[in-house]
Structure 1
């Protein structure tokens, strides 16, 4: 299977999300073709991105002339214009772009984007709001949902598991979570094993179903 990780990427729509994405990809050495219909936005990005053009992404011929069908991956980062977002995504499907990512402003919008052919739907505002809510309501330092009902959480070990080797703790049987790695004070993260003993001041990363990691992170 071919690795397309560093292939050039088309980013369509240069609002806050699209601009940040395009600049970060460029910073990481990925060639980016950035497209927006607003000349002022394009002009403001011209000094920061190598390839940035003004074009109507709902025009099939314009996308062809820009060479969009030659790209393996494209991101539709159009924000509030839902019609343009959906039409642009459907045109990328028509142009047989292999890997289409599309930003949605709601779950309903996301479902439509999937129906017209988006391979990945991004809900940045929803996802960030959900993440911050988890961080505000508990003892978590970080939270990342990796699937619909599965998450990784960075937190402190509960008192009852201090000083006990993980292999003897029955932690997974009791709470359904796995300690993936641990970071002692003034140390770097290391993988956790059966012989790992947690200490006060440690930071751990746990994995499990969302309700289980939430319950575990609330333990004193």
Structure 2
């Protein structure tokens, strides 16, 4: 199903995280209803989203008037007001929405959100903190971690495999990482194959467990 044919998405809370989610969905072709209790944010996003309303989304009647049953999903991106976040998720769940994404500030908040109906809980600040910490490693150029200790990273080619084809360096067996792609200078990334020869100025895209990627990036 194309994005244009999907039901619209409701984004509640248009702060830094919620605003970014809403604008990205809009660019992807979704219809987005943004909702926030602050008039200034409603005014700011009004020209950029399909529709924006000033509303108290902890109120069942308010959500019902927005036609929650017509939405494909809802994103509860309320920041520091944990009570409002939980009450909004509860109200959405009570109204029958089964695809609810919610932002959590800590583990306790996440557990409450899950018990009140959130189907997906995210920790944007925590994820960004982890990403920045990994990027402080000079060899790691980009990093995306997943919840099961798995990650995909872009890094400078370790000296230990420079000058060797991948079939010889045998990264999967020796270092427990898989080299997915390689890039040289301003050229585009290309898919890595066993005969790919690694040059000193290569950047690699690798996948594997976070700890293994960290060790691989530190090889001399």
TM-score normalised by the shorter chain: which range applies?
over 0.9
Q: Residues 10 and 34 of structure 1 are in contact (CA less than 8 Å); yes or no, is this contact kept in structure 2?
A: yes
C-alpha contact 2:72 2:99 (8 A) present in aligned 1: yes
- Tell me the SS of whatever aligns to 2:151: strand
Q: CA deviation at 1:168?
A: 2.1
Report the CA distance between 1:4 and its aligned residue: 7.4
Q: Which residue of 1 aligns with 2:167?
A: 167
Structure 1 residues 15 and 186: alpha-carbon distance in aligned structure 2, compared to 1, 3 A threshold: closer
The answer on whether the counterparts of 1:156 and 1:204 sit within 8 Å (CA) in structure 2 is yes
Please, which moves more after superposition, 18-27 or 82-91?
Answer: 18-27
Q: 1:160 to 1:43 in 2, by over 3 A?
A: closer
Look up the match of 1:201.
Answer: 201
Residue in structure 2 matched with residue 72 of structure 1 by the alignment: 72
In the superposition, the TM-score normalised over structure 1's length comes to 0.93
Asked if 2 retains the 8 angstrom alpha-carbon contact of 1:154 and 1:203, the reply is yes
Unaligned runs of 5+ in 1: none
The DSSP-based 3-state class of the residue aligned with 2:146 is strand
Residue 43 of structure 1: CA displacement? 2.3
Residue deviations 1:156-201 (CA, integer Å, cap 9, x gap): 1112212222122222111100001111223111111111111111
- Give the C-alpha shift of residue 5 in structure 1: 5.2
CA 1:128 to 1:78, structure 2 compared with 1: closer, same or farther past 3 Å? same
Q: Does 1:17 align with 2:17?
A: yes
- Alpha-carbon RMSD across the aligned residues, in angstroms, is 1.6
Q: Does 1:82 align with 2:82?
A: yes
> Residue 189 in 1 paired to residue 189 in 2?
yes
Cα deviation, 1:117-172, whole Å, max 9, x if unaligned, reads: 21111111111011001111341001110232101111111122122221222221
Partner of 1:215: 215
Name 1:51's counterpart in structure 2. 51
Large movers: runs of 4+ above 3 Å: 3-6
Distance in 2 separating the partners of 1:33 and 1:64:
14
